[in-house]
């Protein structure tokens, strides 16, 4: 991400359901998770061309995230967030991804608990 400017595409508050957690009851029934993703990419070409082929197709990425999460069964929210980041970075135009995964109501007295991570494309990766 050596460019001076990286633009962002934000997919905010996807409400999904999956198996995630270490407690026995969490391994039986799907729970709500809230996913927010920020995709870092250079959007100048698509801003000039107005052509979908010049940009990150965020609907495709959203569909892949939904399929991953809804079909997943992880012990840790951290692992789920990493796999979501992996999905985002498969797109050749995405140079970095910030992923937040929250479990509403997972802790008493807290609205939610979650993790946020940032991953970037390794140099030479495509």
Positions marked catalytic: 103
Using left for φ > 0, alpha for ψ between -120 and 50, and beta otherwise, residue 49 falls in alpha
**Sequence-separated (6 or more) residues with CB below 8 Å from residue 125:** 89
To the nearest 10°, the Cα dihedral for 16, 20, 23, 24? 80
Q: Considering only CA atoms, which of 97, 99, 98, 95 is closest in space to residue 125?
A: 95
The single residue listed with the structure tokens 């495509």 is 126
Q: What is the largest distance, in Å, between two alpha-carbon atoms of the chain?
A: 52
């Amino acid at each position: 991400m050596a460019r001076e400017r990286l633009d962002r595409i934000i997919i905010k508050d996807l409400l999904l359901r999956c198996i995630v957690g270490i407690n026995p009851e969490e391994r039986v029934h799907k729970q709500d998770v809230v996913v927010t993703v920020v995709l870092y990419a250079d959007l100048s070409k698509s801003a000039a061309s107005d052509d979908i082929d010049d940009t990150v197709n965020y609907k495709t990425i959203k569909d892949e995230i939904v399929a991953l999460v809804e079909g997943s069964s992880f012990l840790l929210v951290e692992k789920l967030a990493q796999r979501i980041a992996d999905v985002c970075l498969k797109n050749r135009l995405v140079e970095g991804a910030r992923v937040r995964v929250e479990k509403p109501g997972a802790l008493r007295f807290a609205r939610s608990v979650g993790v946020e991570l940032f991953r970037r494309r390794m140099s030479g990766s495509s």
